[in-house]
Amino acid sequence: MSRRNTVQKSTILKNLQERCDHPSALDVYHSIKSELPQVSLATVYRNLEDLSQQGKVRKLDTLDDITRFDGNISPHSHVICSHCGAIEDIAPVNSDLMLKEAQKNSLFAIREIEFVFSGLCPNCHISN
Amino acid sequence: MSRRNTVQKSTILKNLQERCDHPSALDVYHSIKSELPQVSLATVYRNLEDLSQQGKVRKLDTLDDITRFDGNISPHSHVICSHCGAIEDIAPVNSDLMLKEAQKNSLFAIREIEFVFSGLCPNCHISN
DNA sequence: TTCATTGCAAAGGGTTTGCAGGGCG
DNA sequence: CGCCCTGCAAACCCTTTGCAATGAA
C-alpha cells in the first residue's frame, strides 16, 4: 500500500469527491487530464486501488464488467438502469434483519450484504 | 439467439446442471474436454451466453471480475468468501419489502434486487 | 440444401506490470 | 539520498469476433 502523498493521488481523490457520478478509471483519467496533462492511466488505476484499500473511495460492483468508483463513502446503495447503465445513489437500507435471516442458513460468517438494485431510469422508462 | 440443438450446447447445459459449484466459462470448458476433446473455448462462451439468455442457466455477478454460471435457476442468493472467493448458495430472501422501501426514494422504476452476501467461509473463518 | 453453429486464431477492452527516470520524505 | 511513485509501453486475462468448414433441420 502506498504511503506517499503525490499530486496525482490527491488530484484523483479530489476529482472523485467533487463529482456526483460513478466514474470508471478511464473517466477519472480523462477528467484530470486538463489538470495533469502528463498523468498516465496506470497511475490512475494504481491510486484508485490504493484509495479504495484505504477506504477513502468505494469500488463499485456494477452489472457491466467495468469497475466504477464512488467518492461518497457514506453508507448507501445503488440502482442501475438495466437499459442504459445509468447509476444513481439510493438511500441506505437497513440490512440487519436480512443479515440475521441469511446467517441462519449458512455456514459462512456473513459480514455484509451488497445490494444491487436494478430497473429503468426515468429516461429509459419514458421511452419504453 | 440460437435455435439449433448441438452436442456442444447440450453437453454444456448438462455439465452445468450436474455440478453444484459456480464455474467460470473456462472451468466448464476444462470439465467437458474429456467428453468433447475438440470443443473450443469460444463455443463454451457462446453457448453459456445463449443459455443464460434463454433462462436455462444463471449468470452470476460475483465480486471478482470473472463471470460465473449457475445451473440452478431456482431463486436463491449467494455468499462469497471475502478471503478465498468460495461461493455458496443461500436460501432466497424475501425482497418485496426492501424493494418498496427503495422505490420510495428513487426515480428509477426498480425491477429487481441482487443481493451479494459476503463474509468468511468455514475454512477461512477457522484459520483467521 | 440452407444457414446457424463450430473451431481456430486473432482482435478487443479493461487492467496490471516491468522498467528506468523522477520526486517525496 | 533512498526508494516509492510515476509514465510509458508491453503484457495479461477474460471475452468476443471474423472466417471458412461443418452439420442440424
From CA A43, how far away is CA A85, in angstroms rounded? 26
B104 Cβ within 7 A of any nucleic strand C atom: no
- The secondary structure of residue B64, as a DSSP letter, is S
Give the SS3 label for residue B111: strand
Substitution target in B49, B79, B104 with the highest count of A β-carbons within 10 Å is B79
pLDDT tens per residue across span A91-107: 887 888 889 989 998 99
List domains and CATH numbers for chain B: 7-127 (1.10.10.10)
**Nearest C-alpha in B relative to A122:** B108
Which amino acid is located at A82 in the chain? S
Pick from B82, B104, B106 the residue to mutate for testing the A interface (most A CBs within 10 Å). Answer: B106
Considering only CB atoms, which chain A residues are within 8 Å of B102? 77, 79, 90-91, 93, 117
- Residue B2: predicted pLDDT: 59
Largest CA distance in chain A: 53
Tell me the average pLDDT across A38-67.
93
Rounded Cα–Cα distance for residues A15 and A77 (Å) = 21
Q: Which nucleotides of C are covered by protein (CB under 7 A)?
A: 4-10, 14-18, 23-25
Amino acid found at A38: Q
Inter-residue contact B118 to A110 (CB < 8 Å):
yes
Query: Which of B17, B65, B6, B83 shows the shortest CA–CA distance to A109?
Result: B83
Question: Per the structure block, which three cell numbers stand in for A61?
Answer: 460492483
> Over its length of 128 residues, how does chain B's per-residue pLDDT go in tens digits?
558 999 999 999 999 999 999 999 999 999 999 999 999 999 999 999 999 999 999 999 787 778 999 999 999 999 999 888 899 999 888 888 889 989 998 999 999 888 889 999 998 887 76
Grid coordinates standing for B98?
A: 426492501
Which nucleotide's C1' atom has the smallest distance to the CA of A40? Answer: D7
Number of neighbouring beta carbons within 10 Å of residue B127: 9
A-chain CB neighbours of B100 within 8 Å are: none
pTM reported for the whole predicted model? 0.89
* 93-122 of chain A touching strand C, CB 7 A cut-off: none
10 Å CB burial of residue A7 (0-12, 13-18, 19+) is: exposed
- B6 CA to D15 C1' in angstroms comes to 22
Q: Is B108–A117 a contact, with Cβ atoms under 8 angstroms apart?
A: yes
- What 3 state SS string does chain A have? CCCCCCHHHHHHHHHHHHCCCCCEHHHHHHHHCCCCCCCCHHHHHHHHHHHHHCCCCEEECCCCCCCEEECCCCCCEEEEECCCCCEEEECCCCCHHHHHHHHHCCCCEEEEEEEEEEEECHHHHHCC
The CA–CA distances, whole Å, from A11 to A1, A16, A57, A67, B4 equal 18, 9, 13, 19, 54
Shortest CA gap B35–chain A (Å): 31
CA distance A35 to chain B (A): 31
Identify, with chain letter, the residue nearest to nucleotide C8 (CA–C1').
Answer: B40
- The pLDDT, as a whole number, for residue B128 is 62
Give the total residue count for chain B.
128
Q: Is the pLDDT of residue A1 over 60?
A: no
pLDDT band at A79 (very low <50, low <70, confident <90, very high): very high
The β-bridge partners of B114 are A116
Q: What angle do CA B100, B104, B108 make, to 5 degrees?
A: 95
B68/chain A closest Cα distance in angstroms: 12
**What is the average pLDDT value for chain A, to the nearest integer?**
91
Å between B60 CA and nearest CA of chain A: 10
